[in-house]
Structure 1
């Protein structure tokens, strides 16, 4: 009887137009794909928790233990350790990017913008030191994709655009913006990483103040070289608002002065 039913079923399919058979969605495949992605996300979350607890060199066995599955079950959803590392690195990158919202949308005076950005960065590092070191360990320089290099590049490009727009608004040459922006990103990252490994008795607030003062000194030097003097403690509108509100920097308000 079973063979007969199978025979009749195949007969119906053979009589069905090819296009109709091909267009009929496979619900099981769709459900499996969704379940597969959900399980991967759950395992990545378990990996983040395991890294936070055991450090950046956490073993796959620890991650599987945290997820409540056998190591072999874990690898049914990842193409080896490198695939898991890439997935974890991408997730950590997303977390840092979300945390750095004040950098993407700066507000206030120049000193306020810099202070908030640096403090946000250092706060994340101190609260998630193991995740940060994991990200450095499995950066694009190795097999893993994503990583802190991507974040530094994104920050450098964003600050290049922002600083370049301010320079153009002030009537200055915008070409130094890229070198300055990427240099500052590298400076903060290098100093922060060293401090994380060797605080040398310096607290986070003190380091924020040091970095902020140095960053402002560099920016102020660039502006003064073009004859523009900014009060670092006065609110600085976004470049497009400055451009709309004044014909030349400093003509209608005292935010910027020309020397």
Structure 2
């Protein structure tokens, strides 16, 4: 019968079910191992060994590699998750309300705070790039593209040309991120709050110069109209 020819056998359906369960279990275990890796990095530093990660996960090292192709595959999974963590941590910033100075102050404090609290993870990202994939650049790009959309909104509102929005956004993110990264390695007795205040001032000056070049003088302490909801990072 034709139906007998085209209907999958019970054995085939059973095999498909086992394959689907294995795929789901493998993805779940990969996530668990990445979380263990993040804990190991936080405790043991950016050069943490695979053996340490396996210990943190409570498995033998060979068991770890049943779920990852090799060390590079594990490192790539960690960097992807780290990028998501940064995006999640900074997502509330795109819904802030207040003056330009208030927005800058809160954003800079959040960015420097995250890097300060996750210094070992940031160093790990700096150490592990794969081919043309630079994890730190990926993180900066995610933040800068979100900031670009925010700048474009306010520049449009002020009647300005928005072509400078992207370079201004990448400039601000590069300034805050690179200065904080250097501070992590050599704080020179500068408290983070003092660093954040300095970066806040520099950020405003960069934005103020961009605004003035576009013919706009903005009081940094006047409350701005709220921006529309930003797309999820």
Q: Provide TM-score, normalisation by structure 1.
A: 0.80
TM-aligned CA deviation for residue 100 of structure 1: 0.6
Cα distance in 1 for residues equivalent to 2:115 and 2:218: 31
Could you tell me which residue of structure 2 aligns to residue 257 of structure 1? none
Could you tell me which residue of structure 2 aligns to residue 116 of structure 1? 106
Cα distance in 1 for residues equivalent to 2:87 and 2:162: 26
Pick aligned residue for 1:148 from 136, 150, 157: 136
Cα distance in 2 for residues equivalent to 1:79 and 1:197: 33
Cα distance in 1 for residues equivalent to 2:156 and 2:46: 43
Q: Give the conservation status (yes or no) of the 8 Å contact 2:87–2:143.
A: no
Cα distance in 2 for residues equivalent to 1:158 and 1:173: 18
**3-state secondary structure, aligned to 2:202:** helix
Change (3 A) 1:169 1:42: same
1:54-133 equivalences in 2 (<5 Å): 54-133=44-123
Could you tell me which residue of structure 2 aligns to residue 188 of structure 1? 176
Q: Give the conservation status (yes or no) of the 8 Å contact 1:102–1:116.
A: no
Q: Give the conservation status (yes or no) of the 8 Å contact 1:82–1:143.
A: no
| Deviation sequence 1:151-195 (CA, Å, 0-9, x none) | 211222222222122222211222121221111111111111111
Q: What is the aligned residue count?
A: 225
Cα distance in 2 for residues equivalent to 1:73 and 1:204: 41
Note if 1:16 corresponds to 2:4.
yes
Cα distance in 2 for residues equivalent to 1:178 and 1:41: 34
TM-aligned CA deviation for residue 144 of structure 1: 8.8
Point out where structure 2 has 5 or more consecutive residues left out of the alignment. 229-233
Cα distance in 1 for residues equivalent to 2:63 and 2:13: 31
Pick aligned residue for 1:179 from 146, 159, 167: 167
Point out where structure 1 has 5 or more consecutive residues left out of the alignment. 1-14, 241-259
Q: Provide TM-score, normalisation by structure 2.
A: 0.89
Q: Give the conservation status (yes or no) of the 8 Å contact 1:90–1:146.
A: no
Cα distance in 1 for residues equivalent to 2:133 and 2:25: 23
Could you tell me which residue of structure 2 aligns to residue 27 of structure 1? 17
Could you tell me which residue of structure 2 aligns to residue 5 of structure 1? none
Which structure is higher in RCO with an 8 Å CA cutoff and minimum separation 6?
2
TM-aligned CA deviation for residue 238 of structure 1: 3.0
Could you tell me which residue of structure 2 aligns to residue 136 of structure 1? 126
Pick aligned residue for 1:162 from 150, 170, 175: 150
| Deviation sequence 1:109-150 (CA, Å, 0-9, x none) | 1111111111111111111111111112113xx259572212
Cα distance in 2 for residues equivalent to 1:85 and 1:209: 34
**3-state secondary structure, aligned to 2:8:** helix
Q: Give the conservation status (yes or no) of the 8 Å contact 2:101–2:204.
A: yes
